Structure 1
Amino acid sequence: MIISPPILKTPQGTATDEQWLAGLMPFSSRGGFPIASRMAWHGGQHIEHTDTGAHGEPVRAIADGVVVYKRDPSPDADKKPLAYQGETDNGCVVIKHSTEIGEGTDGQIEYYSIYMHLKQVFVKKKQPVYRKDSLGSVGSCNGNNAIHLEIICDDANLKKIVGRSSGTLDISKDGRDKIVYGDMHFYLPPGTLFFASIASPQAPAGSGAVVHTSTVPLFVTMRFERGKCLLTTRQEDTQQQGVFVEVGAALADSDDKYEYSLYSKATALGDAFHIAPSAAYELLRFGRVINTENETAIPAGSVPHWHKVNYPGGQGWVNLNAVGIKKFSDADFPHWLGWTLIDDDPTPDSQCNSPMLEKWLTGNSGKKLDKGVLATALADAKVQSRLSRTICKFPTEWEKSTIDTRYAWLKSKSDVLDDPMDERKYAEFKAHIESLSFWEEAGLEISSAHWHFNPRSFITQFKKNGWLSKDEFSKIYPDTVYNKKETPNPEELREKYRNHINRIAAKYLVDQSKTRMTHFYGQGAVESFFLARMQEGSVIPSRNPNHPSILPETNGFYNNINDSWYFKYNNNKNLSNGPAPDGVKYRGRGMKQLTGRLNHNGYWIYRGWRKVSLKTAQAWQILTYEQIPDIADPQKISTIPFNCIDAGGFYWERGARKAGYKSMNKIIKENDISTQAITSISFALNGGNMGLDDRIKQTTRIAKELLDATSK
């Protein structure tokens, strides 16, 4: 899922997504979410701007979709009934988004985005729009330069998006494994042991006496951030139920480049416990093996996953794979991060009568929720932050036929309304609401009572998701780049590999940023010719699809080809190749064209297909080819779709021998898609600049699809 904010006037620079979005979409007590003044439900967020130019700030589609409703703005924004409390534009666009956040039917979601108070509207109904397309321009709302952005979904899609329909996250079992993204989280039950030290990351038990045994549930978040691994512990506030507070400051792993050394750590762990390093890698990355179709699961308690974390009153080493500890990701919308589903308002009107929110606003103080208490609460940054992670179900504010049902309460005095409207004032207000309403006219395929997300929180959450839908992936590797003779059906080719690519991007932390994804897909475009060539073939001008060099491989294939090109890798010391047929047998394979006897053996060991100790494997780097075992079926890399992609991820993470075995993620700098950056990645990946011009071209093109630059 690719998503971005509706206004892109501020370059991101080196700011994190969260920091950048906070500047573009600041929370406000006026027009905030999900409650506005007078304790009324408010389904979206007002986004103000300070544009003083001749043209309004463009409002952009937050994601790909189809326009299902549009209304051109009235020219009378400065007159009643629109100008109820100041000039108000009523230009409106509604987009239906169909996308994916993970694998399977549960990963296929639909939601709507609503853009209100547009001064101009540039799109038509039923028009497909793409992320960052200009929908219109920012108008006015009650005299302020602002738009109203709303993100909504129905019951069925809420369950897919959040993973549940009500209540808190079930911590009696692990979270979703087909929809996994963002930070990893661990539930530590009471009785969890903390140790003063460990002998090594491979130690089966902590060293010395236990320094702490937890007595309350603890929740640990593991975040990879620009090389570091940060561990944050939370526990429920003893004074306020449902609020979780951090226990001490986040701890950084003693290895400040922890993320970039995951391959070596996984190799050591695999060597110590006689498991495939690739499975150990998933344990260190996700806290568990999630790709059980291709990796053997690692039972809790069988292999350690040590980290030093805070506990109430101190710090200690804990095995995050101990029996009883449960694992989750941001995809599970953990309640200890504040995500709360609210559907407890028993009234049909637009006044918020949620007992849960009333407790939040009074701080469980027992005070009556009156106008003063409400104003103070909505101005409190902590309250605003908590409200921003609510997902609330209530009726739309845009339905004309239910205005009296929803707003009659404004004519009666209450604790939050000490100046009720008389009939004249109510009539003016009702006319204003009617001038903005559109629900019946739009005829949307969603109930008028539906779930609302805070837009900034929704966008922040899903910018962590790097899963590409079918349509999104077709823009990364579009039909136009393929040779029609070689690839007559590009869609079929993409779908053959897409789920595997999405899994591998998550596994090797490529999806941690759109910059990493841009470089990964840009390099892969050239290395595998957009996935069409998973084994290196002869350089034939015609690219004859029937040439033996690119036909499916068999065990007897290697000695049957009489083509001098194949032997360019023979006797290549850098690859530990011997004489023919090594040149053809260990040619480039997979998405990143893994090449040579040494590299093929490295992947065989990584996947657990060849049982060799870490010490022996390291020594191979200086041995001759006769001392490195032959492989009977190296085509396993190029003929099995998962292996094609995973071998590319393995090489992306481990790096090339000639370039000093550096993780590509370590080299990448956020939002840097410069020629110099692409050149550096190219050299680190293949030890040279072969095809550099094309790598620059493809990476630059893909950046326009993935990054948040204002130009498409």
Structure 2
Amino acid sequence: MMDAVDRFELAHGVYPVAFDRRWHCGVHLSPDMHGAVHAIADGDVVAYRVCQHAIGSGASHAGFVLLRHATDTGDGRKLTFYSLYMHLLPLAEYHTFGYDGRGLPDFLHKPTGQVAQGQVTPAAAGGGHKVRRKDIIGYLGRYQGLVYLHCEVFMMPGDFDAYFGHTQLGNTSPSTPATLDYWGHTYYTIPAGQQFFALPPGTDAHNKLHGIKFEVGQTGTNAQPLVVETYFSKGAKYTNVWSVAADGSRTLLTDQPVAEADYEYDLYKRATALYGTCPSDGYEMLRFGRILSTPAILSAAASATWIQVTYAAGQQGYINISNAAIKKLSDADFPSFMGWQKVSEGNTPFSSDGLCDIDALRKLVKDAADSERPTVSTATTEVQKADTLSSYVRGHDGVRQALRGFICHAPSEWDSTGNATRYARLLDEGGFYHGNEQGYNKFLNYLKEIQFWDVTGLPPGEKLWFFHPLAFIRHFRRCGWLSLKELATTLPRHSSLNAGGNISWSEAKRRWQSGSQTAGFMPPKIGIEVNRMWRKYGFSTTRRQTHFLAQVFKETSALRSTVEGGDDRYFRTMYEVLTSQEAGQDFDHKHQWLQSMGFLRGRDRSTYIAQRPGEVAQKAQGMGNIVPGDGPRFRGRGLIHLTGRNSYNQYGIFRVANFTVDTNPNQLSDNAETVADSAGYFWVSKIMQSPNTGALRSGMNIHRRADVGTGDANVAAITTPVNGGSTGLAERKEFFKYIYFVLGDEPTPLMAASSFYQNED
């Protein structure tokens, strides 16, 4: 999606340098069709302007909406930022494009002030209004005759320091973080002179280590330090590698990301084979390069993790990334070697007069323009300097890409404080208003009318921290962590009785945060633990998260219980032993229930009584329920129910814990971390029985099918390993359609009209 949006960025108004060498901390987006502008996240309205008409001669539009957003990127990691949408279409021109405004929030239906046609409408304070992600907040307008949207993303200094003070931003020699923050891609920094092996030590004659096959590489050492990027997509693992020169410039050693097919789908298999001491910790080593769970069980010697890396042009070998000399980071750290730069005093191409110097800019972007760097400019006038700089920025894709990583400490162009100082150079010789003071004053008056900072309630005259909006969105889309508010929204306000029924906003939040003690038991803080589990087991896309929640909401009666319902007789006769007498009683008194569960299969009473007890005994044997009382003892527990002694025992082996001795089975229903983690374990360890073709091939890991699609057939296929059949399939489909609209990017709801969007009371 972001690749598509990238194509809409115009070559003028380039972030963060305007054509006149001043700060321009936004981007200009011009889609290939006229349409609605949507909010990028849930937010509070800080300020807005709704115009009845265009300004001036009619070639420009001054409507805007400024939003404040607050979310989480981890436990206790609050992120507060602002987004601005400028040059929105005036009301009088809606009919030109067939718009009627019915999709807009009510507060955007009328002008924020009355002025003569052609004048600038006053801006208004937010007034407590809120918008949801994907809400329409206006329509694409124009400025000076060009159709485009000016978009900004920025943070206030206090919010910026509170968040980025815990990252590696600005640290040229980052270390492996002591915190547990992790999301997005994984990065390794490998010092020069490290040994690479053709195969991991200990592989056998068939190139296998504990049954896991490795492709043969080359033995050698790296002459320069390396930066390694790894990430997963649809089951494959991808690796990029750069060598780093002494001046910090990078050379890409992998023309295309090196792909290892099915690597992610097979992580459970690899972890159980390679890390017998603790497969759960090994799973994290394979995914993150370090263990995030506490306490770590794997010893340093048992943590060896061999990954294949291109260490020189055309040469690949294996290196153990558990080595402490290799630093492990992620997108949560904003590493400088991936292009993130703080541009502020002492590290800025902008001089005290607010104008950008091309030579200073060239030093900051380093190798971005490569051999295409311009010769030293001989420009002397302001116009010549502006043209030279504009040509340099527009003419080099590498430069523009490097500028996307700039995080700029700069004044807002919408704050009138200091206008006279900021634009004084326009009166200098060679300046646009040289010798035209009347025109200059007219410009300042117009500028103050278009500016709106005085109604925002934000402090004036303060520098803000700006991000390239598309780079910001692209980066944070890699973070799959959902805040409590976002999690609460996934529970529909109203759905069918067998799905969730009626759930108020406060109740939705309570179930995710405080748990539930009605109609079952849900431990507190399940929302935080689900987020952690998602990070560990690779629920990195909205599609995967949606498939998971659709199943979990049905399994737990919309987060009300982590324990399978029933009495001791039910669990004994389902999972342990059923007598002929009990089979007859069930046939006589529970005939409809037996039919709905698929147990009758058209059999008459005598046939059912003769066959059903043996079926239960065979099932109990397969579940490992061989001790009296195992049926109720190992009933279904967890967000996705683990059921039977064998399942509890196998999960215990994975976690190096014993969940089979009394009272440890209760941990799968009472302990939030275990409740969530056991569901992730279930998801990646289960076998998908699918047609053995293409993306639908059979194999371990339910992600295989979640990655395929969003249709009813996919929901049904995933229901089979989760439920053992198709019980509650209609409700699972209903949940899926609702949640996918909430978490996904579709602007039109997919769910039935009976499912209402969960919203704050």
TM class by shorter chain equals 0.7 to 0.9
> 1:352 — aligned with what?
356
Q: CA deviation at 1:655?
A: 1.1
Q: CA deviation at 1:115?
A: 1.1
Residues 491 and 569 of structure 1: is their aligned pair in 2 closer, same or farther, counting only changes over 3 Å? farther
Q: Which amino acid aligns with 2:733?
A: I
Aligned residue among 246, 250, 253 for 2:252 = 246
> 1:449 — aligned with what?
463
Q: CA deviation at 1:28?
A: 2.7
Residues 182 and 578 of structure 1: is their aligned pair in 2 closer, same or farther, counting only changes over 3 Å? same
SS in 2 for 1:699: helix
Moved more, 163-172 or 683-692: 163-172
SS in 1 for 2:664: coil
> 1:190 — aligned with what?
192
Question: Residue 112 in 1 paired to residue 82 in 2?
Answer: yes
Residues 108 and 354 of structure 1: is their aligned pair in 2 closer, same or farther, counting only changes over 3 Å? farther
Residues 171 and 652 of structure 1: is their aligned pair in 2 closer, same or farther, counting only changes over 3 Å? farther
Residues 447 and 219 of structure 1: is their aligned pair in 2 closer, same or farther, counting only changes over 3 Å? farther
- d(CA) in 2 for partners of 1:590, 1:647: 7
Q: Which amino acid aligns with 2:227?
A: F
Residues 233 and 446 of structure 1: is their aligned pair in 2 closer, same or farther, counting only changes over 3 Å? farther
Number of aligned pairs?
633
> 1:21 — aligned with what?
5
> 1:13 — aligned with what?
none
> 1:491 — aligned with what?
509
Aligned residue among 448, 453, 478 for 1:439 = 453
- d(CA) in 1 for partners of 2:286, 2:185: 12
Is the Cα contact below 8 Å between 2:63 and 2:86 reproduced in 1?
A: yes
Residues 421 and 151 of structure 1: is their aligned pair in 2 closer, same or farther, counting only changes over 3 Å? farther
- d(CA) in 2 for partners of 1:631, 1:604: 14
Aligned residue among 629, 633, 649 for 2:680 = 649
Residues 207 and 525 of structure 1: is their aligned pair in 2 closer, same or farther, counting only changes over 3 Å? closer
- d(CA) in 1 for partners of 2:358, 2:632: 69
- d(CA) in 1 for partners of 2:316, 2:548: 38
- d(CA) in 1 for partners of 2:289, 2:365: 36
Aligned residue among 218, 235, 238 for 1:227 = 235
Q: CA deviation at 1:157?
A: 2.7
- d(CA) in 2 for partners of 1:167, 1:470: 26
Unaligned 5+ runs, structure 1: 1-16, 540-546, 551-562, 612-628
Is the Cα contact below 8 Å between 1:74 and 1:91 reproduced in 2?
A: no
Residues 454 and 484 of structure 1: is their aligned pair in 2 closer, same or farther, counting only changes over 3 Å? closer
- d(CA) in 2 for partners of 1:463, 1:486: 28
- d(CA) in 1 for partners of 2:18, 2:510: 49
Residues 340 and 213 of structure 1: is their aligned pair in 2 closer, same or farther, counting only changes over 3 Å? same
Task: Give the alignment of 1:330-349 within 5 angstroms.
Answer: 330-344=331-345, 345=348, 347=351, 349=353
Q: CA deviation at 1:140?
A: 0.8
Q: Which amino acid aligns with 2:133?
A: R
Task: Give the alignment of 1:628-667 within 5 angstroms.
Answer: 633-656=664-687, 662-667=700-705
Is the Cα contact below 8 Å between 1:194 and 1:212 reproduced in 2?
A: yes
Question: Residue 468 in 1 paired to residue 477 in 2?
Answer: no
Q: Which amino acid aligns with 2:676?
A: I
Residues 581 and 260 of structure 1: is their aligned pair in 2 closer, same or farther, counting only changes over 3 Å? same
> 1:699 — aligned with what?
736
Question: Residue 367 in 1 paired to residue 376 in 2?
Answer: yes
- d(CA) in 2 for partners of 1:311, 1:697: 49
Unaligned 5+ runs, structure 2: 92-103, 108-125, 380-384, 514-524, 572-584, 595-612, 691-697, 750-761
SS in 2 for 1:433: helix
Aligned residue among 23, 26, 40 for 1:41 = 23
Question: Residue 305 in 1 paired to residue 323 in 2?
Answer: no
> 2:391 — aligned with what?
376
Is the Cα contact below 8 Å between 1:289 and 1:298 reproduced in 2?
A: no
Residues 478 and 243 of structure 1: is their aligned pair in 2 closer, same or farther, counting only changes over 3 Å? farther
Q: CA deviation at 1:197?
A: 2.1
Is the Cα contact below 8 Å between 2:37 and 2:140 reproduced in 1?
A: yes
> 2:382 — aligned with what?
none
> 1:618 — aligned with what?
none
Is the Cα contact below 8 Å between 1:188 and 1:219 reproduced in 2?
A: yes
Q: Which amino acid aligns with 2:84?
A: I
> 2:557 — aligned with what?
529
| TM-score normalised per structure 2 | 0.76
Q: CA deviation at 1:497?
A: 0.4
> 1:594 — aligned with what?
642
- d(CA) in 2 for partners of 1:62, 1:353: 33
Residues 170 and 277 of structure 1: is their aligned pair in 2 closer, same or farther, counting only changes over 3 Å? farther
Q: What does the per-residue CA deviation read over 1:8-62, in whole Å, with 9 as the maximum and x for residues that have no partner?
A: xxxxxxxxx4423324xx333202211110211101111113435xxxx211111
Aligned residue among 465, 472, 482 for 1:458 = 472
> 2:122 — aligned with what?
none
Is the Cα contact below 8 Å between 1:117 and 1:138 reproduced in 2?
A: yes
Question: Residue 504 in 1 paired to residue 566 in 2?
Answer: no
- d(CA) in 2 for partners of 1:603, 1:445: 54
Bigger radius of gyration = 2
Higher relative contact order at CA 8 Å, sep ≥6: structure 1 or structure 2? 1
Q: CA deviation at 1:135?
A: 0.8
Residues 536 and 260 of structure 1: is their aligned pair in 2 closer, same or farther, counting only changes over 3 Å? same
> 1:620 — aligned with what?
none
- d(CA) in 2 for partners of 1:408, 1:153: 27
Residues 631 and 189 of structure 1: is their aligned pair in 2 closer, same or farther, counting only changes over 3 Å? farther
- d(CA) in 2 for partners of 1:148, 1:705: 26
> 1:7 — aligned with what?
none
- d(CA) in 1 for partners of 2:435, 2:65: 31
Aligned residue among 540, 543, 548 for 1:515 = 543
> 2:706 — aligned with what?
668
Q: Which amino acid aligns with 1:264?
A: K
> 1:89 — aligned with what?
61
Residues 438 and 578 of structure 1: is their aligned pair in 2 closer, same or farther, counting only changes over 3 Å? same
Is the Cα contact below 8 Å between 1:201 and 1:304 reproduced in 2?
A: no
Q: CA deviation at 1:208?
A: 12
Q: CA deviation at 1:376?
A: 2.5
Is the Cα contact below 8 Å between 2:533 and 2:680 reproduced in 1?
A: yes
Residues 244 and 435 of structure 1: is their aligned pair in 2 closer, same or farther, counting only changes over 3 Å? farther
Two-structure CA RMSD over aligned residues (Å): 3.5
SS in 2 for 1:502: helix
> 1:62 — aligned with what?
40
Q: Which amino acid aligns with 2:728?
A: G
> 1:328 — aligned with what?
329
Q: Percent identity?
A: 26
Q: Which amino acid aligns with 1:376?
A: S
Q: CA deviation at 1:657?
A: 8.2
Is the Cα contact below 8 Å between 1:279 and 1:298 reproduced in 2?
A: no
Is the Cα contact below 8 Å between 1:601 and 1:631 reproduced in 2?
A: no
SS in 2 for 1:690: coil
Q: What does the per-residue CA deviation read over 1:328-376, in whole Å, with 9 as the maximum and x for residues that have no partner?
A: 1111112121111110347565433597525347968771373443133
- d(CA) in 2 for partners of 1:446, 1:68: 14
SS in 2 for 1:220: strand
> 1:626 — aligned with what?
none
SS in 2 for 1:634: helix
Question: Residue 263 in 1 paired to residue 268 in 2?
Answer: yes
- d(CA) in 2 for partners of 1:642, 1:594: 15
Residues 242 and 367 of structure 1: is their aligned pair in 2 closer, same or farther, counting only changes over 3 Å? farther
Is the Cα contact below 8 Å between 1:251 and 1:309 reproduced in 2?
A: no
Residues 50 and 426 of structure 1: is their aligned pair in 2 closer, same or farther, counting only changes over 3 Å? farther
Task: Give the alignment of 1:116-131 within 5 angstroms.
Answer: 116-120=86-90, 122-123=104-105, 124=107, 125=126, 126-131=128-133
Q: Which amino acid aligns with 1:597?
A: R
